[in-house]
Amino acid sequence: MSSAPSGGGEAPPAVELRGITKRFPGVVANHDIDIAVEAGTVHAIVGENGAGKSTLMKTLYGMHRPDEGTIAVKGETVRLGSPSDAIKHGIGMVHQHFMLADNLTVLENIVLGAERRGGIGRGARARITSLSEQYGLGIEPDRLMEELGVGQRQRVEILKVLYRGADIVILDEPTAVLVPQEVDELFENLRELKREGLTVIFISHKLDEVLSVADTITVIRRGTTVATVDPGRTSARELATLMVGGELPVPELRESTVTERPMLEVGNLEVGEPGGRRVVDDVSLTIREGEIVGIAGVEGNGQSELIEAIMGMRPVERGTVRLDGRDITGWGTLGIREAGVGYIPEDRHRHGVLLESPLWENRILGHQGEAPNARGIWIDRAGARADTERIVADYDVRTPGIDVIAEALSGGNQQKLIVGREMSGRPKVLVAAHPTRGVDVGAQAAIWDHLRRARSEGLAVLLVSADLDELIGMSDTLHVILRGRLVAQADPMTVTPEELGAAMTGAGLKDAAGSGGEGEDGA
């Protein structure tokens, strides 16, 4: 921390939050948050999903006002009524989901909305170039946004914030979208920012990353700050204990339950886009009874389309999908579901639940035609309600009742309901896309448990995830998808997240375990 160039030991903290309380109509509010961020440091804020990190950052970025407590920036108490107030005080935020226009150049994206600082022409270009050099971001102002990769886009977002004069940069879960190599690059950038005297607030729930980059770590649990620690004197395990107030669950499978009976066979599957581009290209894979097959890949490489094609939501151009020996290629989604395929969609809110409907109606969704939800053309209310009560009890969905609308539940509880629903009626195959995304650690462990249990009872699972630990820990077989093709197969017993990350970017897996694996499966 000697790098902090704060003049005189007694400089006020860059940001000081005192007694912040936000009563929020929702599950987690903030209460009694106390954080002091020293100038010129990287300050990490960690906590499990739903602990209140985002609420806190929104408060700091002026997106909503705290009910109690004060915010001081550089020693001066401020009232942040809107993001533009925050920017005026030098606070900038890089959101988890980028806000960039693909069809504009880097330069245009950066000046958009900030035209009054240095115009849109030569002045702006000079400033961008000098900022990029100063902080070592390596940005070319004239590239088109759509040509850039995820890591580069993130750097553009950071530069956008710097361009607006921020000297306190908030990064919300910046590594969620990056592969390990890109994470390292990002951390190099952050260290550079710090050397130049900027303050970085880094929000994450990935402990190893936090330990490697932060100067100070504040842990948030259930809406309040529980500890502020020095990364030099703590370990991931200690942090995890602080975060969850208990042991951190690890995804792992015990003994193999894989049998020889293929349940889902995908053969030379091809899916095209309206534009003619092939988004799934000659994919073949087999999932056997009691087996979990993981698909690793950077988002946007065809995983979603592969799943949608299997679920009958996207037309298949070529190839076959067979369920337990039966050809289900070209079937409708309902037919496929009723034939015994459960589906945990990747976007819970868009595909998994009816937000404005009560829980028991959400139990029916996707299972309209089966017992206990329906009898002939009629909805069986009593049956559906009783079964919802069962799911709420068995899957530990925290809710006051089954008449509450889904939107009122936290993400983890919504997901537990979905998992419970899709596991009902003994499916043969479960297609699970990011089953633990955005859910808290407790729910994550519970969902893994349910997957393991169902696997030991013979369920075949197709698991798509961005969480490499989850993929490695839960899969019996692991494929890597790149630009719509399965490019490598890895052995989850031996592969490391770094190797997998490299394979996902196309660096190749040195034919570790998967030499010709696809060819055999595709028969």
Partner 1 sequence: MRVSIPNPAAAGLAVVVGAGTTAGADMGLLAPAAAALGVALAFAVVLLLTRPTTDDADTRVHRMVVAPVALVLAVAAGVLGGAVVDWWLIEPVAYPLGALIGSVAAFLLYRRLATTLALSVAAVVAAGVLALAVTALVLWISGVAPFHAFGRMLEFGLQPDSLVIMVNSGTTFYLSAVAVAIGFKMKLFNIGVDGQYRLAALMAAAVGGAWVLPPVVHQVVVITVAVAVGGFWAGIAGYLKVTRGVSEVISTIMLNSVATGITAYLLNTDRLAVQISTNNIGTREIAETGWVPGIPAGFMGADREIFGLVVLAVAVGVGYWLMLNRTRFGFDLRATGQSPTAARASGIDIKRMVLLSMVISGMVAGLVGMPQLLGQSHYYALDFPTGLGFTGIAIALLGRNHPVGIGFAALFWAFLDQSSQILDFEGIPKEIAVVTQATIVLTVVVVYEVVHRWGLRYQQQQVGRELARGDREEAAAS
- The site for partner 1 (CB under 8 A) is made up of 25-27, 29, 222, 311-313, 332-338, 343, 345, 347, 350-357, 361, 364-369, 374, 377-379, 381, 398-401, 404-405, 407-410
Question: Would you call 30 exposed, middle or buried from its count of C-beta atoms within 10 A (0-12, 13-18, 19+)?
Answer: buried
Instruction: Please report how close the Cβ of residue 442 comes to partner 1 at its closest, in angstroms.
Output: 10
**CB-based contacts of 201: which residues, under 8 Å, 6+ apart?**
15, 37, 43, 44, 45, 57, 60, 168, 169, 170, 171
Closer to partner 1 at the Cβ: 75 or 315? 315
Instruction: Please report how close the Cβ of residue 107 comes to partner 1 at its closest, in angstroms.
Output: 35
- CA-based radius of gyration for the chain: 25
Instruction: Please report how close the Cβ of residue 131 comes to partner 1 at its closest, in angstroms.
Output: 40
Closer to partner 1 at the Cβ: 361 or 521? 361
Instruction: Please report how close the Cβ of residue 10 comes to partner 1 at its closest, in angstroms.
Output: 40
Question: Would you call 307 exposed, middle or buried from its count of C-beta atoms within 10 A (0-12, 13-18, 19+)?
Answer: buried
| Residue 110 burial (CB count, 10 A) | 28
Q: Are strands 477-482 and 341-344 parallel, antiparallel or unpaired?
A: unpaired
Instruction: Please report how close the Cβ of residue 299 comes to partner 1 at its closest, in angstroms.
Output: 18
Closer to partner 1 at the Cβ: 236 or 354? 354
Strands (E), 366-498: 374-375, 378-379, 429-433, 460-464, 477-482, 485-490
Closer to partner 1 at the Cβ: 149 or 335? 335
Closer to partner 1 at the Cβ: 257 or 410? 410
**Alpha carbon separation from 165 to 57, 60, 168, 414, 444 (Å, rounded):** 19, 17, 9, 40, 39
Instruction: Please report how close the Cβ of residue 325 comes to partner 1 at its closest, in angstroms.
Output: 22
**Alpha carbon separation from 238 to 227, 325, 389, 517 (Å, rounded):** 11, 49, 37, 41
Closer to partner 1 at the Cβ: 381 or 510? 381
Q: Which two tokens stand for residue 397?
A: 């969905």
What is 370-403 written as a DSSP string?
STTTEETTEE-HHHHHHHHHHHHHHTT---S-TT
Instruction: Please report how close the Cβ of residue 245 comes to partner 1 at its closest, in angstroms.
Output: 9
Closer to partner 1 at the Cβ: 410 or 465? 410
Closer to partner 1 at the Cβ: 4 or 313? 313
Helix (H, G, I), strand (E, B) or coil at 92: strand
The residues facing 200 across adjacent strands are 42, 169
Instruction: Please report how close the Cβ of residue 133 comes to partner 1 at its closest, in angstroms.
Output: 44
Closer to partner 1 at the Cβ: 194 or 337? 337
CB 118 within 8 A of CB 132: no
| CA–CA separation, 519 and 267 (whole Å) | 10
Instruction: Please report how close the Cβ of residue 412 comes to partner 1 at its closest, in angstroms.
Output: 11
